[in-house]
Amino acid sequence: MENKEQVHVVIIEDDETIRNGFAYLINASQNYKVVNAYSNVERALPNLVADAPHVILLDIELPGIKGIDAIPKIKQLLPKTHILMLTVYENEDNVFNALTKGAAGYLVKNDSTEKIMDAIQEVVNGGAPMSMNVAKIVIKSFHKNQNSPLTKRETEILEQVANGKSRSKIAKEMFIDLETVKSHIKHIYLKLNVHSREDAIKEAKNNKYI
Per-residue pLDDT of the chain (210 residues; tens, 9 = 90+): 444 579 999 999 999 999 999 999 999 988 899 999 999 999 999 999 999 999 999 999 899 999 999 999 999 999 999 999 988 866 667 777 788 888 998 888 887 878 888 889 899 988 887 766 667 766 666 666 678 899 989 999 999 999 999 999 999 999 999 999 999 999 999 999 999 999 999 999 888 888
| CATH fold of the domain at 7-137 | Rossmann fold (3.40.50)
- Yes or no: say if 208 and 144 are a contact pair by the CB < 8 Å rule: yes
The CATH label, of 1.10.10.10, 3.20.20.140, 1.10.3430.10, 3.30.499.10, for the domain at 145-206 is 1.10.10.10
Q: Sketch the domain layout of the chain as residue ranges.
A: 7-137, 145-206
Residues 149/159, Cβ–Cβ less than 8 Å: no
